[in-house]
Structure 1
């Protein structure tokens, strides 16, 4: 039996007598450390040195792990949330807007979820639901919420804004989206025509003159950002229910703004309304010729070619649901659908000839809009979707009724009309 295996005292009493460990009791890490250290320092130790060194490494690693765990615990207990950030309440993850996705990850907040989780709503409820407050939310991957009477300066958000997978793709989601710092919007609209008419680039021999491209022509467009808004009444009792609040905001207010924004992007008159793409001078047009029997599926494909010949490759097409229905139900001679092979597949992409398809009743039946949306237009936003709640409206105060108002400020800059093609499905007569 080695010296390491013998029962040795773990200390001594005041009178000098040794203290032995309790029979069957496991020594602590410190006791093991001290015992191993004593044996390592003992020149007369005749046990297995390799085993002793291995035990030393194991105990040292265990002590280091215990120290790290203690440090993390102390740091966690001393951590605090920033001022104004509400502390989570018991069971909060089960409240509306708090649920993670199927993989346990937090999802980007919707407008309604940002409103429900805002400090402003908590304060409003704590004050007996008196006065007025607002919460602004921008549809970005990491939603930004600002509260107060005047919203803070927005953050520049380039690129396409990702859509919530539970909601259909919107026309606004096809455009490049930027943030405006003021209320007046000025931009240059290219009226030069197709690139094929002004692009004079050519191979030039050494020493020869280089060709000049052109002519170019631009119009300076000056407009203002437009406000889209609407409101609904809600009882004080419903204002205490997070689920009902989210239903009002998502189901009525936000959807209403999104629908109106899509209509403005397509058909706004550009004066009292936003600038619509279809009402912008200079966009391309395509209509089947006289006597043509082309079905809508073929018409879209030929319009795509026209867009490509203008050197602005199309990326998407916007259709009325009735026209999209005709395209999806188009069958070949064997009764098979041409567009989709499996009608029961919910994950089937909504695409046609490589183009993203957006269906909306904002597009008139019998027509469609095809184009390079990000190339041709930009949606400028001064203010994201802002939700306001107040008890100060007409006689609603005495009726225990509140008002929820939703608004946004934006406009569309159609800077390259040649990137779009308006399709008319009926053959010319």
Structure 2
């Protein structure tokens, strides 16, 4: 559900730092390269030309320390699993030629295109947390103080749940990552295991979700959704659909490292049909996010009509291809054009043409593209409507989307649509420490 504003790095951090500049001249003691011959390779342990590498080259003086586990690679580093480096154009979509190096490919030969569509920022995915670089807010509690608070609340007979909530549900993930590290240094115990032992039920699950680094939580959610009896399809949709390419590459890396198995194969083993095809395409992480290619709004509008309402039966593959490969800004124009021309909101077209989990997934994708905050608000309401509450889904949605700026948009959209505050809705569906935790996580602590 990760869940990336343009110009910002993944998980809410600033953009990647500029690539380090290394010396390109001849090594000390050697004459300069002669005209007509290639320049000397950069120093730092690189092997002679034509030989395989010995490992990683030595860091240049003044270079930053290695990134912590799970952090995004520096700008210019190769992306995991063979994906293009950040900023490189993605592979050409089906039917389009690959772009030449340093140049944009020629547009397809059809009607003039609308290429300067207004953009909408993706909802920010929660930061993973970087203990080596995190600086707590001035005047606020330090990670050391929070570690001591949790230890004091959990030691002895019984647990002071309110003190635990005041830390775990109120701090950002990057702060909690440092708290977890400090706790282990001070007390020699894993904080996740401590909280799992001290709490249980919906409350315990909420604390478990909150204390994990968000990308690690997503990997765990997907694993649990696929392993064992049955499949949690709704969880797969909310954690896999709508992610950026860079975010998906990082998720695949963390999943492989944590569970020693491929994310794609794990999902493929548990789902089937067009639902499987949609999730596998999402997992590839190759959507043209910023418009390296030119697409024709009119052509895509007609293609979607001919794939659905304009024919007998449905061409499911055409829907999946267009909705998972085009930039969001382009697709918003397509949805608007479709409604204007054929008099039907595009999400209603999906409901008419599809059924089952592929319908649920495509509706989620369309609503995410149109308005991420409203998409999450609707899914929160679905978790609470009717007899009983889907507490696992509600907790997952709250924890994974608790970035303050994005949560403010969710609350505003929820109130606009349902004429009731999200705070009051959650308060009416939950109770006790579980309710206090969710309300604190959405920035609406329980009064009194």
Q: The TM-score by the shorter chain falls in which range?
A: under 0.3
Which structure has the bigger radius of gyration? 1
Q: Which has the higher helix share?
A: 2
Write 1 or 2 for the structure with the bigger share of strand: 1
With normalisation by structure 1, the TM-score equals: 0.20
